[in-house]
Structure 1
Amino acid sequence: MSRPEALFPLFADLETLDGVGAKSAKAFEGLAVSRPKDLLYLLPYSGIDRSLRAGIRDYVLPTTVTIAVEVLRHQPGRTRSAPTVVHCRDDEGAALELVFFHARGDYLQRILPEGVRRVISGKAEATDFAIRIVHPDHVLAPEEAGSLPGWEPVYPLTAGITQKTVQKAMVSALARLPDLAEWIDPGLMAREGWPAWSAAITQAHRPTSTQDLAAEDPARARLAYDELFAHQLTLSLARARMRRGRGMQSRGDGGLRARLLAGFPYRPTAAQQRAVTEIAADMAAPLRMNRLLQGDVGAGKTLVALMALAVAVEAGGQGVLMAPTEILARQHYEGLADLAGQAGIRMELLTGRDRGSDRVAKLAALAAGEIQILVGTHAVFQKDVVFHNLRLAVIDEQHRFGVAQRMELGAKGEAADVLVMTATPIPRSLALASYGDMDVSVLDEKPPGRKPVRTVLVTTSRIDEVVAHLAQAVAAGRQAYWVCPLVEESELVDLASAEERFAHLRAALGEGRVGLVHGQMPPAAKDAAMARFVAGETGVLVATTVIEVGVNVPNASIMVIERAETFGLAQLHQLRGRVGRGAAESTCLMMYQPPLSESGERRLKTLRDTEDGFRIAEEDLAMRGAGDLIGTAQSGLPRFRVADLERQSALMAVAQSDARKLLHDDPTLDSPRGKAARHLLWLLDQDRAIRLLTVG
């Protein structure tokens, strides 16, 4: 799809704008600006009041002032490094000094001739001796004063770029604004009172007060919506393409599922039953499934995944369950293999540790269709892993696949259905931003028998009491995790603190009673330490945050988190979710070092007061922002220039339904509104969407 001609001027080189040369064009890259259209989305973040006042006494200094003055005399510096001072008087008779360093005398005489009136604007400060303005921003003849904006926008800067450079280039970019057809639904435009696109861009760059800089300002809200809408259009196109892919209709007779249910330790919750029904319906449909299963800690996602995999087997095919780490893959396998075996399903584990004849035999059985469910790490993506008839891929999504990897996965089976699981409750706005291409099933209730975990905050000064209580609990046959602090983002320092705590607890509780796991251990040693803990041979497992995700030891009923204030909310919630899985009353002790920062206190109190992962996630979003919450680097979370996911989450939901409706009515974007939406995709660099339309 070629770029629309109306947009050519906005895709020209930056150097075609006033005041931009090769050097400043290079510097603009520091602001992610490489074309005039990028500059249009570089919005001012504050402004300076430049309205003219009668005299300096009208201001509270230090501040930016704009006043008319009479130039009295020039006082050159006595040495080369000393400044030139120009003495002036305002219309009310107050004296002030204009100070210039390294300025040529003839230049100053030209712009500030003695005995003449000038309008000066710049930052004024009161010293012990005088009121001074060092290097005024503007020096104008009274008749030119009208050219000064009453309120001047202030832009983000980077090395080599000044406000004047941005402002000059911006005037020239705004002059190129084309008149584009409207891509927003007319009903929505009218309801929100939003201006047209070119008017919104112009208004956003010509604020007249602080209110014009707020996210709620109609011009800015409209531009934010454009970004969210373009993003959701891309995701919806990806979703439509995925669903258009030749789906397999996997319809089971329910026999295996009935046998599995008979072996389950409890009756599935209504949420689990609903999710299984949604997934089975997707798998039976001719379209390809692309679904997210989102559930809080301990909501029973794994059993839903097993039921979904059983549908694939009932339909005569195979399923694969992928976990982010070997510990988790092994745990999934150990937790599910007996259930699968009792139901007559052959399940195998494949990890990077399978070597030689073992591996060859497993791969042969997989290719022949004898292995019906494969559990593994992303090693199952290797070239030599060939399925006989892969119908369902389940990804346990702690490592947060982006949209691109999800598409790659779908390519492994001819048209395998895809189910992604995440244990991190995600606020709705972020779920839409990260997973808008997927349908979502939510597990929002806990299976019966999961007891609430008592959460207690204690200061680190009471560590000896904590160890004494732990000794009693271990003597009574209970098991505990002890998570060491995140000293810094360095495994080695974290490790030193973990080893020190390990030695301390061994001395207090006895040699064989304490185990240690951390990220630097060889996988075999890590697995052996975990296995001893699972078997109940060790009473306390000292760990860095490796145990955060998915580890399941029902007998462990105590979780001690040392220096809990160094962890994020979601992480603390995940760690706490490791206990409360068995019959015993469980406790989570969060040890903190006072004094707590305001945000540290808010985090710990939130955890003490609720176990609802979705409430915790909303609080986390409010405190940390979207990028941090999902770890922007690996999240595939879009970076918006105008939209703010925390404050404008409601707009994201509107954008999703609007994008899906537009594509439902006009899948190829060929209607007048569809063609306008193509302009938007070009403007906002949604190349993926443009490619999807082209290959569509």
Structure 2
Amino acid sequence: MAKKTFLKITSPVQYVKGIGPKRSLCFKKLGVETVHDLLYFVPYRYVDYSTVLRIKDLHVDDEATVVGRIRLLNYRRTKNWSSLLSIYLTDGSDSIEVLWFNRPDLKKKFKVGDVLMVSGKVGLYKRKQFVNPLYEIMHEDEQSNTTRGTIIPIYPLTEGLSLWDVRRAAKIAVDECLDELNETLPQTVREKHNLMSLPESIKNLHFPEEIRTAQQARRRLVYDEFFFFELMLAQRKAKITKQDGIALRETGTLTKRFVDMLPFTLTNGQQAVIQQIAQDMARERPMNRLLQGDVGSGKTVVALYAMLIALERDYQAVLMAPTEILAEQHFLNLMDILKRLDITPYLLTSSTKKQDREKIADRINRGTARIIFGTHALIEEHVVFNRLGLAVVDEQHRFGVMQRAALVNKGVNPDFLVLSATPIPRTLALTLYGDLDISTLREKPPRRGVVVTKIVRQKERNAAFVLIDKELRRGRQAFVICPVIEKSEKMELKSVKEAYEEIERELPGWSVGIVHGRLKTAERVATMERFRRSDLNILVATTVVEVGVDIPNATIMLIEHPERFGLAQLHQLRGRIGRGADNAYCFLFLDRYVSPETYERIAFFEKNNDGFALAQKDIALRGPGEILGKRQHGLPDIRIGDLDADRELLFLARDDAFALVHEDPDITQPQYAAVRRHLDTLAAKQELLRIG
């Protein structure tokens, strides 16, 4: 008689036979904590064993998969912090060299005698080879089961976990718990788009009979993710449009004076967006608008204009930033013009002295503090606004939905303006920010210098330092950006400390400061202020300066290991220079070998200054994480879908979701019972139906 199982879909993954407490920690690193998580653990590719080639049959430039045993293994360090791991694989027909650059972690994973499955492009250097290919270490049980025609799912792994561990656990989960999965979509929707049932899709995700069925399984799960994501947005938008807001009609008593004081003329784009915002604020429903624009497009000026409209109507306005550096930047940059308007701005952060914090909180409560800049400190319980009319959130992706909602809840349905310096194409913006109205700034203010970007190899470093020295002698300033604070043997990246020492050696006589996330806030702020006043010539920093730092005198940026950053992040960093009238120079110090794909990405950045083009490329190259990681706080997870590759499915899901909410706003009709049930399940996990 078979032993009765007590495994449930909600069971911790450690109770799956063969996992246990120790191995469950490895699964946890991959986001798999329950049997449900395991069922939804998606392979990132599949290998069809009917396509595995013998090594002797490989041709140069082929994309191929081979399986062989490690015969030789050699690891050595090269110049410039690089490393090289070389192995020789043999499969009985021939042998081939396989190389990995800058992967010191692999030397502990492989040993002579291991059987590897290797996939990649066949190269040629004296003889055929693979360079930085995908790989899997094969378990003995897998080797015996890898008959021709078998489809093998390849899962993400971590140290201590083999492909066989995951496959074995997935089989147990599917065999014992698949029946517990409830359908989430109405049959009409499944039939409309020819989607598998949910249990069928999970089974074929892990154990497909052919690649096509695996693709169909993934398509169903991607649609699910997109549909419930868009459903939440549709419900949010419906909820917002029903709320009573504050009609803040512009009088011009402050805004006209403000525009007249500006030392430049507003761009056509700024004027158009200001008109959109003014019309929104005049309505008797809360404004809920996203203002996205490229680096340096003038979003802050537009935001201040909106804040002044609130002040004209005797309401308060607040701007919340994710970091103290950014909050202080707004405060200092706008202080002069606000004082000329007879307005006293206030700054409230966690570093504000306790006595001052209490005074500012009291003024906010009494309404004498009319315009306030700050960080998370603004949403603390003791901070009570008198008449909050407008809440502005800068770089909103860095806040959770609860924090944003907490700021809005400081007033009675105040207007809400979100600023984002990570522009995305309008079609995607409409899809991802479907609950917000969207304004876009593309045009940059005139009389800005040109930013020249150049990839710098090791042999060109000295020439770059000569140019940097020349700029410093002209009275300009420079940023040096590093990916890590301290040196790590595992990462082999230049640290802030090492860069500081090199700068002092190569550029003697110049004052150099350091800023990174581990410094105490007061020290970090003081260093930034010294750099802002030009008391420091060079600032060595991590990405804490990625947004908001405005130093018009800075014309040089040196970025170490640009391969470690995404295109959007590189563009944000580069946006710290070229903010004055002078030309600026961004040097990408690329000292080590990178893959052709990585070099292509960096070369694309070198040639492009358009943030929208870079964002589109980033989506295509890096998948949805860059954007969705910033958007999905308080919304259902999107882990499987790809915003670029699955765009058509995304638009279908959006149309279906908004149509459903239009037909049945509360989703109570019997034909949508499956949707309602899944929505309730998600609500238990997520902070739903809150303005985000």
Pick from 600, 603, 622: which aligns with 2:601? 603
CA 1:264–1:583 in 2, change beyond 3 Å: closer, same or farther?
A: same
1:215-234 equivalences in 2 (<5 Å): 217=216, 219-234=217-232
SS of the residue corresponding to residue 682 of structure 2 reads coil
Q: Distance in 1 between matches of 2:188 and 2:400?
A: 27
* AA partner of residue 579 (structure 1): I
Pick from 369, 372, 375: which aligns with 1:371? 369
SS of the residue corresponding to residue 669 of structure 1 reads coil
Q: Distance in 2 between matches of 1:136 and 1:378?
A: 51
CA 1:672–1:571 in 2, change beyond 3 Å: closer, same or farther?
A: same
CA 1:326–1:205 in 2, change beyond 3 Å: closer, same or farther?
A: closer
Counterpart contact for 1:15–1:21, Cα < 8 Å: no
The CA deviation at 1:42 is: 5.5
- Structure 2 equivalent of residue 659 of structure 1: 657
1:234-249 equivalences in 2 (<5 Å): 234-249=232-247
Q: Distance in 1 between matches of 2:562 and 2:153?
A: 40
Q: Distance in 2 between matches of 1:437 and 1:325?
A: 25
* AA partner of residue 575 (structure 1): L
Matched, 1:182 2:186: yes
- Structure 2 equivalent of residue 24 of structure 1: 17
Counterpart contact for 2:623–2:642, Cα < 8 Å: no
Q: Distance in 1 between matches of 2:611 and 2:245?
A: 34
* AA partner of residue 24 (structure 1): K
Q: Deviations over 1:621-678 (max 9, x none)?
A: 3333333666689966854464334421332233234322321232111234443421
The CA deviation at 1:429 is: 8.1
1:219-298 equivalences in 2 (<5 Å): 219-298=217-296
SS of the residue corresponding to residue 374 of structure 1 reads strand
- Structure 2 equivalent of residue 170 of structure 1: 174
Q: Distance in 2 between matches of 1:636 and 1:178?
A: 23
Matched, 1:497 2:498: yes
CA 1:317–1:201 in 2, change beyond 3 Å: closer, same or farther?
A: same
* AA partner of residue 494 (structure 1): S
Counterpart contact for 1:317–1:390, Cα < 8 Å: yes
The CA deviation at 1:33 is: 7.3
Q: Distance in 1 between matches of 2:183 and 2:298?
A: 53
Q: Distance in 1 between matches of 2:9 and 2:338?
A: 67
CA 1:650–1:278 in 2, change beyond 3 Å: closer, same or farther?
A: farther
Q: Distance in 2 between matches of 1:195 and 1:485?
A: 44
CA 1:183–1:458 in 2, change beyond 3 Å: closer, same or farther?
A: same
The CA deviation at 1:611 is: 0.6
Q: Distance in 1 between matches of 2:392 and 2:487?
A: 31
Q: Distance in 2 between matches of 1:331 and 1:590?
A: 26
The CA deviation at 1:320 is: 0.5
Select between 519-528 and 311-320 the one with higher mean Cα deviation.
Answer: 519-528
Unaligned runs of 5+ in 1: 1-11, 51-60, 65-122, 124-132, 140-147
SS of the residue corresponding to residue 462 of structure 2 reads helix
Counterpart contact for 1:295–1:442, Cα < 8 Å: yes
* AA partner of residue 374 (structure 1): I
* AA partner of residue 536 (structure 1): S
Counterpart contact for 1:681–1:689, Cα < 8 Å: no
SS of the residue corresponding to residue 17 of structure 2 reads helix
SS of the residue corresponding to residue 443 of structure 2 reads coil
Q: Distance in 2 between matches of 1:134 and 1:591?
A: 44
TM-score between both structures, scaled by the size of structure 1: 0.72
Matched, 1:380 2:378: yes
Q: Distance in 1 between matches of 2:168 and 2:348?
A: 61
Unaligned runs of 5+ in 2: 51-64, 69-115, 117-138
Q: Deviations over 1:383-438 (max 9, x none)?
A: 22222101111111266113333222222222222222121234668756864443
- Structure 1 equivalent of residue 616 of structure 2: 618
Counterpart contact for 2:9–2:34, Cα < 8 Å: no
Q: Distance in 1 between matches of 2:42 and 2:536?
A: 59
Counterpart contact for 1:533–1:539, Cα < 8 Å: yes
1:319-338 equivalences in 2 (<5 Å): 319-338=317-336
1:475-624 equivalences in 2 (<5 Å): 475-484=473-482, 486=484, 494-504=495-505, 508-510=507-509, 513-624=511-622
Matched, 1:346 2:350: no
Counterpart contact for 2:605–2:614, Cα < 8 Å: yes
Select between 407-416 and 237-246 the one with higher mean Cα deviation.
Answer: 237-246
The CA deviation at 1:478 is: 2.7
SS of the residue corresponding to residue 235 of structure 2 reads helix
Counterpart contact for 2:322–2:398, Cα < 8 Å: no
1:443-454 equivalences in 2 (<5 Å): 443-454=441-452
CA 1:172–1:251 in 2, change beyond 3 Å: closer, same or farther?
A: same
* AA partner of residue 219 (structure 2): A
Pick from 659, 669, 682: which aligns with 1:685? 682
SS of the residue corresponding to residue 606 of structure 1 reads helix
Q: Distance in 1 between matches of 2:181 and 2:523?
A: 63
Q: Distance in 1 between matches of 2:385 and 2:406?
A: 16
The CA deviation at 1:40 is: 6.1
- Structure 2 equivalent of residue 109 of structure 1: none
CA 1:224–1:525 in 2, change beyond 3 Å: closer, same or farther?
A: closer
TM-score between both structures, scaled by the size of structure 2: 0.73
The CA deviation at 1:584 is: 1.2
CA 1:450–1:184 in 2, change beyond 3 Å: closer, same or farther?
A: farther
Select between 595-604 and 305-314 the one with higher mean Cα deviation.
Answer: 595-604
Q: Deviations over 1:465-485 (max 9, x none)?
A: 333323332222333323345
CA 1:355–1:134 in 2, change beyond 3 Å: closer, same or farther?
A: closer
Counterpart contact for 1:183–1:680, Cα < 8 Å: no
The CA deviation at 1:500 is: 0.8
Q: Distance in 2 between matches of 1:635 and 1:680?
A: 18
The CA deviation at 1:573 is: 1.1
- Structure 2 equivalent of residue 7 of structure 1: none
- Structure 2 equivalent of residue 211 of structure 1: 212
Q: Distance in 2 between matches of 1:283 and 1:209?
A: 56
Q: Distance in 1 between matches of 2:580 and 2:520?
A: 29
Q: Distance in 2 between matches of 1:560 and 1:62?
A: 41
- Aligned-pair identity (%): 38
SS of the residue corresponding to residue 551 of structure 2 reads coil
SS of the residue corresponding to residue 495 of structure 2 reads helix
* AA partner of residue 290 (structure 1): N
CA 1:42–1:464 in 2, change beyond 3 Å: closer, same or farther?
A: closer
SS of the residue corresponding to residue 236 of structure 1 reads helix
Counterpart contact for 2:322–2:395, Cα < 8 Å: yes
The CA deviation at 1:554 is: 1.4
* AA partner of residue 275 (structure 2): T
Q: Distance in 2 between matches of 1:514 and 1:498?
A: 11
The CA deviation at 1:373 is: 0.6
Counterpart contact for 2:635–2:687, Cα < 8 Å: no
- Structure 2 equivalent of residue 308 of structure 1: 306
CA 1:497–1:434 in 2, change beyond 3 Å: closer, same or farther?
A: farther
* AA partner of residue 685 (structure 1): L
Q: Distance in 1 between matches of 2:631 and 2:278?
A: 34
CA 1:566–1:488 in 2, change beyond 3 Å: closer, same or farther?
A: farther
Q: Distance in 1 between matches of 2:514 and 2:598?
A: 27
SS of the residue corresponding to residue 685 of structure 1 reads helix
Counterpart contact for 1:230–1:686, Cα < 8 Å: no
The CA deviation at 1:298 is: 0.5
Select between 537-546 and 39-48 the one with higher mean Cα deviation.
Answer: 39-48
Q: How many residues align?
A: 587
Q: Distance in 1 between matches of 2:169 and 2:546?
A: 49
1:668-683 equivalences in 2 (<5 Å): 668-681=666-679
Q: Distance in 2 between matches of 1:179 and 1:535?
A: 62
The CA deviation at 1:370 is: 1.8
Counterpart contact for 2:485–2:516, Cα < 8 Å: no
Counterpart contact for 1:231–1:686, Cα < 8 Å: no
The CA deviation at 1:374 is: 0.6
Q: Distance in 1 between matches of 2:452 and 2:531?
A: 22
* AA partner of residue 170 (structure 1): V
SS of the residue corresponding to residue 255 of structure 1 reads coil
Select between 623-632 and 646-655 the one with higher mean Cα deviation.
Answer: 623-632
SS of the residue corresponding to residue 594 of structure 2 reads coil
Matched, 1:424 2:428: no
